[in-house]
């Protein structure tokens, strides 16, 4: 911790003197004001606690009690004077009146004991007040983990010497139980065969875990079809034996290759394909899956049916209730929506995010499910009509939701460079903080309301990590990769896990993924 400046020390000492005066006078209003200041100033709080310890150990407060014993009572009126001091007129002549009988004083030891008991009660009340203030603050703003030093944790393994990896999501159950998903291909252009990639960290090394065979799912959709590739975009971990992964599979149907959504589940022993309600929909993609509990899992994406004129985009919102997946009916106003993110507090408190692709309402999209209907949310004026996409959500509580975004990679049409977005819902409205144009935040995670992480890339294609400590966002320097995009983030205990992909520009001037990596806080 940096040393305080002379001015800061002076201000703290003055505040400490005010605190002592308030203690002696029993001024609870002043004490409360100083306690609030101490909540925001750890050094001031330490000085106050040290002061109480000194009063209890070296008897400094006894001196104050003895000074109070210098109080004299004359004519029934209390006059306070320093011990041993006598005013001039009284020293020269006797008073010409008969003084009132002095009340009998208690023994000194009794006065000291009473003073100590009073001091103990006062100190106890102050400490109880401090504890109450701290606990009430923790109820809504738990203590944040703010000192992270991100470093390159481990390179993800490759399937073979000629394979190239792409990691899209990560879920940390504990520091020694972390999962990551993506895809594997034979070249950087991803023009060769693509297969879904699932990897697991056991505390020592990363290991590729085989996924399920999607062939049976494809054949249940249509006869004489072949699965030409699979990929995962996201995963959600509820426990060590309850994990979901969502993405899509490429199916050769007649003379065309068509996408169909893909959902797999880990039961602690193996991955199994689970038939989704949209598996038969042509051109369907699942972009994100999030879980609240074993009976409350959400997945979102979109469908682009093949050979449909005019071009149409259908949003997909699916829910797992513990026994089956169901496809939710969306209002007509959501047609043309790309859905990239979902986050839920409960089955009746769910947020989805993405973008609308056409029409007067083109731009970022936010909507909320209250258990009865979907309602679009009003965006801040600065973002209405923006070409940015909302790419990730994190609902910490009903009144504490974060949404981030920027320029989506892999959208149907190239979008102009637009501001990165960080938005917050406080229970009444969304507030936005636009960032430099062209930057993009792809994923977000939080352990509490004062420990929120968002990752993506900068305008110069540098890896970007942002952290919220309850007061402000700050950038965490990234120097490991000259050109990279971070695609996933997860928190387990005091450890943060981040996955991403290195990039290089191809002949068409577009970024091509050249490999995957994993970072973790040290």
Higher pLDDT, 419 or 339: 339
- Among 500, 503, 502, residue whose Cα is nearest residue 520: 500
Q: Record the tokens describing residue 400, joined without a space.
A: 């504490």
- To the nearest 10 degrees (0 to 180), the angle between helices 42-57 and 28-40 is 130
The DSSP H or E segment spanning 250 is: strand 242-253
Radius of gyration of the chain (CA): 33
pLDDT at 220: 74
3-state SS assignment for residue 58: coil
pTM flag (> 0.85): no
Q: Which of 69-73, 268-272, 345-349, 425-429 has the lowest mean pLDDT?
A: 69-73
- Whether 337 has a pLDDT exceeding 80, the answer reads yes
Q: Which residues pair with 430 in a beta bridge?
A: 425
Q: What confidence tens digit (pLDDT) does each residue in 299-323 have?
A: 999 988 766 655 678 899 999 999 9
Highest mean pLDDT among 41-45, 366-370, 518-522 belongs to 366-370
Q: Record the tokens describing residue 38, joined without a space.
A: 């101490």
pLDDT at 310: 56
Higher pLDDT, 517 or 187: 517
How high does pLDDT run on average in the chain? 74
**What average pLDDT does the segment 123-132 reach?**
54
Q: Record the tokens describing residue 78, joined without a space.
A: 């209390």
Q: Which residues pair with 4 in a beta bridge?
A: none
pLDDT at 449: 92
- Whether 81 has a pLDDT exceeding 90, the answer reads no
**What average pLDDT does the segment 34-39 reach?**
75
Strands 150-154 and 164-174: unpaired
- Contact, 199 vs 180, CB < 8 A? yes
Q: Which of 20-34, 356-370, 431-445 has the lowest mean pLDDT?
A: 20-34
Q: Record the tokens describing residue 495, joined without a space.
A: 């450890």
State what percent of residues in the chain have pLDDT above 70: 62
Under the banding of pLDDT at 50, 70 and 90, the label for residue 407 is: low
d(CA 346, CA 135): 25
DSSP 205: -
Q: 183 phi and psi, to 5 degrees? A: -150, 165
Q: What confidence tens digit (pLDDT) does each residue in 366-404 have?
A: 999 999 999 998 887 766 656 678 899 999 999 999 999
Q: Which residues pair with 247 in a beta bridge?
A: 232, 262
- Whether 427 has a pLDDT exceeding 50, the answer reads yes
Sequence-ordered list of residues with C-beta below 8 angstroms from that of 377, at least 6 positions apart, any chain: 366, 367, 368, 425, 430
Tell me whether residue 115 is exposed, middle or buried, using C-beta atoms within 10 angstroms of its C-beta: 0 to 12, 13 to 18, 19 or more: middle
């Amino acid at each position: 911790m940096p040393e305080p400046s002379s001015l800061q020390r002076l201000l703290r000492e003055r505040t400490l003197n005010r605190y002592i005066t308030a203690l002696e006078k029993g001024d609870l209003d002043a004490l409360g004001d100083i306690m609030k200041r101490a909540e925001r100033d750890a050094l001031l709080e330490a000085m106050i606690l040290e002061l109480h310890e000194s009063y209890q150990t070296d008897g400094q407060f006894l001196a104050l009690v003895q000074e109070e014993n210098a109080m004299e009572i004359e004519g029934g009126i209390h006059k306070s004077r320093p011990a041993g001091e006598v005013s001039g007129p009284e020293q020269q002549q006797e008073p010409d009146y008969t003084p009132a009988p002095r009340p009998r004083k208690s023994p000194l030891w009794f006065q000291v004991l009473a003073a100590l008991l009073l001091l103990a009660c006062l100190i106890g009340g102050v400490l109880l007040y401090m504890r109450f203030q701290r606990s009430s603050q923790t109820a809504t703003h738990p203590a944040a983990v703010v000192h992270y030093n991100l470093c390159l944790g481990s390179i993800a393994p490759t399937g073979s010497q000629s394979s190239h990896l792409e990691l899209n999501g990560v879920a940390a159950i504990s520091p020694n139980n972390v999962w990551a998903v993506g895809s594997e291909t034979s070249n950087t252009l991803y023009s060769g065969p693509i297969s879904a990639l699932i990897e697991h960290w056991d505390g020592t090394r990363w290991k590729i875990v085989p996924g399920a065979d999607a062939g049976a799912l494809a054949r249940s959709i249509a006869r004489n079809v072949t699965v030409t590739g699979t990929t995962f975009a996201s995963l959600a971990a509820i426990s060590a034996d309850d994990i979901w992964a969502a993405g899509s599979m490429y199916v050769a149907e007649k003379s065309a290759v068509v996408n169909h959504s893909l959902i797999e589940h880990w039961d602690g022993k193996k991955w199994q394909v689970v038939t989704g309600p949209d598996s038969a929909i042509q051109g369907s993609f699942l972009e994100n899956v999030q879980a609240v509990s074993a009976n409350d899992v959400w997945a979102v994406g979109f469908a682009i049916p093949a050979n449909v004129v005019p071009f149409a985009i259908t949003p997909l919102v699916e829910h797992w209730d513990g026994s089956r997946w169901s496809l939710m009916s969306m209002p007509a106003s959501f047609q043309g929506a790309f859905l990239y993110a979902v986050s839920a507090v409960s089955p009746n408190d769910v947020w989805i995010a993405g973008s609308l692709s056409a029409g007067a309402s083109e731009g970022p999209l936010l909507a909320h499910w209250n258990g009865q209907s979907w309602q679009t949310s009003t965006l801040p004026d600065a973002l209405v009509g923006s070409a940015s996409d909302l790419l990730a959500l994190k609902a910490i509580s009903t009144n504490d939701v974060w949404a981030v975004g920027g320029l989506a990679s892999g959208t149907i049409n190239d979008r102009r460079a637009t501001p990165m977005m960080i938005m917050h819902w406080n229970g009444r409205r969304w507030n936005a903080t636009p960032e430099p144009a062209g930057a993009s935040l792809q994923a977000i995670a939080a352990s509490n309301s004062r420990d929120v992480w968002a990752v993506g890339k900068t305008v110069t294609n540098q890896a970007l990590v942002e952290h919220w400590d309850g007061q402000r966002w700050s950038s965490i320097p990234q120097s490991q990769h000259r050109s990279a995009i971070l695609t996933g983030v997860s928190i387990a205990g005091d450890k943060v896990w981040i996955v991403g992909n290195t990039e290089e520009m191809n002949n068409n001037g577009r970024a091509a993924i050249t490999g995957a990596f994993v970072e973790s806080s040290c």
